[in-house]
């Protein structure tokens, strides 16, 4: 047989890798609790139709899709929002709003593997259903910001924009929705000239001018950005409303004293077609890929047959956050308590060793038993190398006194201790 490897773009997680992932997952889950998001889970496989309904071309072409044995077209989920929206329509349609749901899930995209881009990756998610109001958008941005802070990032940027602005400009110029979607995809990729080429036969000279200048608005001086936007959009009423919506979100954040490192960048979009309002991405210096992304999607629930239900949310990319934390050395060496190896001195004492180990586990100590039958000297040397803190040596003589020998492996000291009090000795040490 050949020696098998993981498929391209897929990864095994060794203990230290998984520990890092879990640390971020745990932080995300702690935010679920703090902000009232209830965790849900959905199947890894969904129907193609659901996943492609509003995904956007970028993702549509990168799906792991196949007919199942019942000849249904299915795919591994490339993202979670469609599944969560389906879940809401199927189960929580009439539950009181707002509804806050969270998840931590793996997703699959047939991306070209590179740093921070894998074919199986993990996303956390916060989705808030049932509010069109800017404070809901502000909440999502605060959560995205808090996640970065709690993980220890000091230098990061949250780039915000509003999909409604360009859409409304193009709509007023009579550009159909499909072409708008294509235009937004070009914007997502930063391909502004392609965007202009796509629409220039349908739109006015003014529209092209305004669009070009809009794409140029990129600054952390949010007031200046909003003022420039207002001037540019004075003849585009609906687009102006979208800009003012972005302004309201930013005002609320300012009043909340959240102190989020925002930059307005009106030349940025998001690849997913379902966005309708504010969109954002989180970046750190020296890593040109978004660590988190999200925004408002007010029509997705309706698309899947639910009542009109506005929604806003975000999906932190766990793998990329791991990468950024490694680069910035933000993972701290975990301080663990005692790690104990129980060593029976003779074969006949194996049962006794298991009994002592079980007593320690009941007290919450990480305890392993020597199971390879090696002698004391070898077992102790293994324990020292493998970073155990203590060995508990179970011998006949000590057992007759209800005792065992507890050896501190760092100090190379040992004492005889009553079995019932080993835990006190470990705690003291």
Phi–psi pair at 92, nearest 5 degrees: -125, 20
Q: Exactly one of 118, 268, 274, 297 binds ligand AMP (CB under 6 A); which one? A: 118
Q: Exactly one of 111, 157, 173, 302 binds ligand AMP (CB under 6 A); which one? A: 111
Q: Pick the piece of the chain touching ligand AMP (CB under 6 A) from 115-123, 354-362, 373-381, 382-390.
A: 115-123
| List of residues 6+ apart from 392 with CB closer than 8 A | 340, 341, 342, 343, 356, 357, 360, 404, 405, 406, 407, 422
User: Which of the residues 259 through 278 are near ligand AMP (CB under 6 A)?
Assistant: 271
- Tell me: does residue 117 bind ligand AMP (CB under 6 A): yes
**Least distance in Å: CB of 205 to ligand AMP?**
34
- Tell me: does residue 290 bind ligand AMP (CB under 6 A): yes
Burial class (CB in 10 A: 0-12, 13-18, 19+), 9: middle
The residue among 165 and 315 lying less far from ligand AMP, judged by its C-beta, is: 315
- Tell me: does residue 109 bind ligand AMP (CB under 6 A): yes
- Tell me: does residue 127 bind ligand AMP (CB under 6 A): no
Residues binding ligand AMP: what is the number (CB under 6 A)?
17
- Tell me: does residue 341 bind ligand AMP (CB under 6 A): no
Q: Which of 11, 105, 107, 129 lies closest to 59, judged by CA?
A: 107
Q: Pick the piece of the chain touching ligand AMP (CB under 6 A) from 20-28, 184-192, 284-292, 330-338.
A: 284-292
Cα separations in angstroms, 93 against 53, 127, 256, 335: 19, 15, 31, 45
Give the contact letters, 145-174, x = binds to ligand AMP (CB under 6 A), - = no. Answer: ------------------------------
- Tell me: does residue 292 bind ligand AMP (CB under 6 A): yes
Q: Pick the piece of the chain touching ligand AMP (CB under 6 A) from 218-226, 316-324, 354-362, 387-395.
A: 316-324
- Tell me: does residue 46 bind ligand AMP (CB under 6 A): no
| List of residues 6+ apart from 97 with CB closer than 8 A | 129, 130, 131, 309
CA neighbours closer than 13 Å in the CB half-sphere of residue 417: 22
List of residues contacting ligand AMP (CB under 6 A): 79, 109, 111, 116-118, 121, 123, 271, 290-293, 315, 317, 319-320
């Amino acid at each position: 047989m050949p020696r098998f490897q993981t498929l391209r773009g897929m990864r095994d997680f060794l203990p230290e890798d998984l520990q890092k992932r879990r640390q971020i997952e745990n932080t995300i889950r702690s935010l679920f609790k703090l902000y009232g998001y209830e965790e849900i889970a959905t199947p890894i496989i969904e129907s193609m139709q659901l996943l492609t309904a509003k995904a956007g071309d970028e993702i549509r072409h990168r799906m792991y899709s196949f007919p199942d044995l019942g000849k249904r077209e299915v795919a591994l989920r490339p993202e979670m929002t469609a599944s969560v929206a389906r879940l809401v329509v199927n189960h929580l349609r009439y539950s009181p709003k707002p509804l806050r749901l969270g998840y931590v899930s793996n997703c699959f995209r047939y991306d070209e593997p590179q740093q921070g881009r894998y074919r199986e990756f993990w996303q956390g998610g916060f989705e808030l259903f049932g509010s069109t109001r800017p404070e809901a958008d502000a909440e999502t941005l605060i959560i995205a910001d808090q996640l970065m802070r709690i993980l220890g990032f000091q230098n990061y940027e949250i780039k915000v924009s509003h999909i409604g602005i360009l859409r409304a400009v193009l709509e007023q110029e009579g550009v159909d929705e499909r072409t708008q979607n294509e235009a937004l995809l070009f914007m997502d990729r930063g391909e502004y000239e392609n965007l202009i080429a796509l629409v220039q036969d349908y739109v006015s000279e003014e529209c092209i001018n305004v669009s070009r200048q809009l794409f140029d608005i990129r600054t952390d001086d949010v007031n200046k950005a909003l003022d420039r936007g207002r001037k540019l959009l004075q003849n585009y009423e609906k687009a102006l409303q979208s800009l003012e919506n972005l302004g309201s979100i930013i005002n609320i954040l300012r009043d909340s004293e959240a102190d989020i490192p925002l930059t307005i960048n009106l030349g940025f979009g998001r690849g997913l077609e379902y966005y309708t309002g504010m969109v954002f991405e989180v970046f750190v210096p020296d890593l040109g890929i978004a660590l988190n992304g999200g925004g408002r999607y007010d029509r997705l629930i309706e698309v899947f047959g639910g009542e009109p239900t506005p929604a806003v949310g975000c999906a932190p990319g766990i793998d990329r956050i791991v990468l950024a934390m490694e680069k910035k050395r933000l993972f701290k060496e975990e301080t663990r308590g005692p790690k104990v190896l129980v060593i029976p001195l003779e074969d006949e004492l194996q049962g006794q060793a298991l009994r002592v180990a079980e007593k320690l586990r009941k007290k919450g100590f990480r305890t392993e038993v020597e199971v390879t039958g090696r002698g004391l000297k070898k077992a102790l040397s293994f324990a020292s190398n493998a970073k155990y803190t203590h060995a508990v040596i179970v011998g006949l003589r000590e057992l007759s006194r209800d005792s065992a020998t507890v050896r501190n492996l760092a100090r190379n000291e040992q004492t005889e201790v009553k079995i019932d009090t080993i835990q006190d000795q470990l705690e003291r040490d």
